[in-house]
Structure 1
Amino acid sequence: MKHYLITDPTFYGITSETIESALDVVYSHTLPDFALFRDKQTTHYRDLAQTFIAVSRSYRISRVLLHGDYILAHELRADGVHLTSTQFDDIAEAKKLRLYVVISIHTHEEAFKAQKLGADAITYSPIYVSPNKGEPKGLEDLKEIVDKIEIPIFALGGITTEEQIKAVEECGVYGFASIRYFIDYPSHTVLDTVSIF
């Protein structure tokens, strides 16, 4: 099953230096198959994304993605883009640039729409309780959507333990995506040695 790391400035910091330091620590513990640079607040996304891509490439991460901006992802030679659930119209444009396209979805209807529009994969969330993400979908609903949809599905939302990973894997998902699992791996102290602020 594929492992998909998603960053958050709370844990990776807000400068190129802190992002590089945090990634070095995280990647030294576990190497995900996919990695996404996600920071909705920064005004320096391009510069930080360049650092993220460079570090991730040095660790040979298979697919390095940027969040939302498919044009920037193409310019910086990322492997792909992770679109938000409001960006269905951008799927085709991103595909024209030969990017690997993941899109966030939260309903079965959105999943079918993403598949029809040519997305390469989707994240379906939240599976478990996750901060500020609403009512969790649960494993039964996850299994139901996996059985319906042909494109790869990443389970997302509240996945922080090996037991949860095994549970979503048993539902037949392509992979899981998480912020907290990777910073807590293999214990809750991975980033304790990094001063990010």
Structure 2
Amino acid sequence: MKSYLITDPAYYGSEAETLTATLQTVFTRVIPDFALFRDKKTLSYQSLASSFIDICRKNGVEKILLHGDPLMAYRLGADGVHLTFHQHGMIHEAKKLGLYVITSTHTHLEALMAQDEGSDAITYSPIFTSPNKGEPKGLEDLKEIVDKIEIPIFALGGIVSQEQINAVEACGAFGFASIRYFTR
């Protein structure tokens, strides 16, 4: 079961010192297989993303991704990019740059479209109750989409315990993605 850390300024801050300190604390407990720098509000995204990439590399994170900007991910030396479903038209562009692409999906149709357009993996959410993310899909729905598509699926949304990780693994998910699991 692969693990995918996703940052959020509410937990990681929007200052280089806070981001670095939080990541160092997280990395003393666990090194995720995948890590995404996501901060939709900061004016210092590029600078923080560069620091994020450096910290993750030094700690042995397998795949380091940036949110929403394939060209920036390429220029800063990230391994990949995480696109929202509304950005699915950028999958081909990101692949041309040699980036690993994860696309956010919330329906079976979106998951199938992301696969057909060349995404390397998807997140599918929300699986469990998660703040401001709508009605959870649940494990039965996760199992259905796992059985429908061939690319790796990261279960996302409300995953904060080992029991939940075990449950999504039992559904056949490739991995789990979380913000809060890593900061507890």
Which residue pairs with 1:133 in the alignment?
133
User: Aligned-pair RMSD on alpha carbons?
Assistant: 0.5
Q: Distance in 2 between matches of 1:31 and 1:54?
A: 14
1:84-95 paired onto structure 2 within 5 Å: 84-95=84-95
| Structure 1 residue 63 corresponds to structure 2 residue 63 | yes
1:87 partner SS: helix
Q: Distance in 2 between matches of 1:13 and 1:126?
A: 23
1:13-162 paired onto structure 2 within 5 Å: 13-162=13-162
Residue 85 (structure 1) shift: 1.4
- The one-letter code of the counterpart of 1:118 is G
2:158 partner SS: coil
Which residue pairs with 2:183 in the alignment?
183
Residue 11 (structure 1) shift: 1.1
Residue 14 (structure 1) shift: 1.1
- The one-letter code of the counterpart of 1:108 is H
Structure with bigger helix share is: 2
Structure 1, unmatched stretches of 5+, are 185-197
Residue 13 (structure 1) shift: 1.1
- The one-letter code of the counterpart of 1:112 is L
Aligned residues: 184
- The one-letter code of the counterpart of 2:17 is E
Q: Distance in 2 between matches of 1:120 and 1:96?
A: 13
| Structure 1 residue 167 corresponds to structure 2 residue 167 | yes
2:86 partner SS: coil
- The one-letter code of the counterpart of 2:140 is E
Residue 58 (structure 1) shift: 0.3
Which residue pairs with 1:6 in the alignment?
6
Q: Which runs of 4+ in 1 moved over 3 A?
A: none
Q: Distance in 2 between matches of 1:10 and 1:114?
A: 28
- The one-letter code of the counterpart of 1:45 is Y
Q: Distance in 1 between matches of 2:53 and 2:12?
A: 14
Larger RCO (alpha carbons 8 Å, 6+ apart): 1
Identity %: 64
Structure 2, unmatched stretches of 5+, are none
Q: Distance in 2 between matches of 1:77 and 1:30?
A: 23
